[in-house]
Amino acid sequence: MLDPDLSGRTALVTGSAKGIGRELLFELAACGADVAVHYHTSAEAAADVAHRAREMNVSATTTHGDVTDPDDVDQLFDAVERELGTVDVLVNSVGAFAPSHWEDIDFETWNRVIETNFNGTYLCSKRALEGMRSMVTPGRIVNVGYASSEKGLVSPKNFPYFVAKTGVLMFTRMLAADTQDENVTVNAVSPYVVENSEVFPDDLPQDRPAAYEDVAQAVLFFLDANSDYVSGENVEVDGGWLPEDV
């Protein structure tokens, strides 16, 4: 496992009370970063994650908010800045999932999937940049995408998720270009099926889903000090999955 020195850094991982966000946050804490555990409805789980992070000898706090609401995003960043200082590492991990046929997805769920995955990434990145631009330490943003989204992957099942993740990858490339002279890098990590996925296909690449560690490895690469010339890139963590295979 890569082990970049993140001591003295403040990392915010959205959606880190549970699932892959939680595991990514633990990896950042293990590398020495002070961490902010973001949650929307899982207050108890977030408190437990923060407690476990403190056992790694770093500072940790929890922060609450809906990443699709601009006011909430401002407030959750304000809370982190009061407790830990300016966020210089942001991992946009939060994102709803709707593994149903597009006609069976109600409008509220449709919007929630797009807003949490795409709008949440936009709002949190925009707010994080306010602080990153004023810091001497390099800013790092890593967005969580989905494997093959940049190839135009589409399916009647879970359609708004594919739309949102394609937007995340486009946003990643745009933001990398827009911040190329500001000591900030913006990249994406795009898994296929992860060990906590709700649905598993019959034919898994390499006969297994991605482990949390597989995804974390790619994230840590982008956070390493020696990766400061890598921006606007997307690493697919998919075991060699080829959806267009016939």
Q: Is residue 243 part of a domain?
A: no
In-domain check, residue 159? yes
**Does 181 reside within a domain?**
yes
**CATH assignment at residue 134:** 3.40.50.720
pTM: 0.94
Look at residue 240 in the predicted model and tell me its pLDDT.
Answer: 83
Query: Does residue 27 fall inside a structural domain?
Result: yes
Q: Is residue 245 part of a domain?
A: no
Tell me the two tokens of residue 137: 């330490």
Domain interval for residue 43: 10-237
Backbone angles phi, psi at 189, to 5 degrees: -125, 125
Tokens of 145: 């995408």
- Give the C-alpha separation, 198 to 194, whole Å: 9
51 belongs to a structural domain:
yes
Q: CA-to-CA distance for 177 and 158, rounded, in angstroms?
A: 30
Q: How many separate helices (H) and strands (E) can be counted in the chain? A: 7, 7
Q: Domain for residue 242, yes or no?
A: no
Per-residue pLDDT band for 241 (boundaries 50, 70, 90) equals confident
**Are the C-beta atoms of residues 10 and 25 closer than 8 Å to each other?**
no
Is there a contact between 88 and 9 (Cβ–Cβ < 8 Å)? yes
Buried b (16+ CB within 10 A) or exposed e, 141-179: bbbbbbbbbbeeeeeeebbbbbbbbbbbbebbbebbeeb
Q: With a cut of 50, say whether residue 108 has pLDDT above it.
A: yes
Query: Under 8 Å CB-to-CB from 15, ≥6 apart: which residues?
Result: 21, 38, 39, 40, 67, 93, 94, 95
Domain count, the chain: 1
Model confidence pLDDT, tens digit, residues 78-101: 999 999 999 999 999 999 988 899
**220-229 pLDDT tens trace:** 999 999 999 9
Report the pLDDT averaged over residues 175-202: 88
